[in-house]
Amino acid sequence: ISHVDKQIGRRLMALTEENLMEDTVILFCADHGELLGDHHTYRKIQPYQGSIRIPMILYNAGLRGRQENLVELRDVLPTFLELAGAETPECPDGVSMLRPHGREYLHGEHSGGDSGNHYIVTKPDKYCWFEESGREQYFDLEQDPQELHDRVRDPACRERVDALRSL
């Protein structure tokens, strides 16, 4: 972390010294997280926040404020095209990160034999389905951000689970 932090600082300093910050867009992101013991597992093929919640920081001198939209790597192209004032072709299925509301949910999947899974994540919650076993999980991310309490069988959550499952 210290090494990455230092390298980012070096680039920011160079951009500032060369008076380029006003005309620069910086995107800091990763393609996946690492489960470092979360849910007693490692690596990246599980549908848990430690694997799927990545840093996605967009900076430009003209951008102000902080947004907590649901974003993914597919959103990079439409965002950069909008920042450049270019037309966005019909083919990208991403959403510009400059849009104030973003999307309602994200669907993700990991293939991996016995551990293959699909998930629907929203700001407040997440539904997971493991394709080989048919096992389901539901987490209230607002109350349980570390996903320690699976509420898929909780009668109070049945309607919400059904709604996410249908997506």
Closest of 57, 66, 91 to residue 77, by C-alpha: 91
Beta strands at 106-110 and 56-60: parallel, antiparallel or unpaired: unpaired
Rounded distance between C-alpha atoms, residue 73 and residue 164, angstroms: 22
Rounded distance between C-alpha atoms, residue 108 and residue 47, angstroms: 8
Q: Find out whether 121 and 105 touch, Cβ atoms under 8 Å.
A: yes
Tokens 């607002």 correspond to: 142
pLDDT of residue 38: 72
Per-residue pLDDT of the chain in tens (167 residues, 90 and over written 9)? 899 899 999 999 999 999 998 888 888 887 776 776 677 676 677 777 777 777 788 888 677 667 778 888 888 898 899 888 998 787 668 888 887 777 899 998 888 777 788 999 999 999 999 988 999 999 999 999 999 999 999 999 999 999 999 99
Q: Find out whether 126 and 63 touch, Cβ atoms under 8 Å.
A: no
**Is 58 in a helix, a strand, or coil?**
strand
Tens-digit pLDDT profile for residues 29-69: 877 767 766 776 766 777 777 777 777 888 886 776 677 78
Q: What is the pTM of this model?
A: 0.80
**Contact partners, residue 114, CB within 8 Å, separation at least 6:** 132, 133
**Is 163 in a helix, a strand, or coil?**
helix
Rounded distance between C-alpha atoms, residue 70 and residue 54, angstroms: 11
**Contact partners, residue 44, CB within 8 Å, separation at least 6:** 32, 33, 34, 35, 51, 110
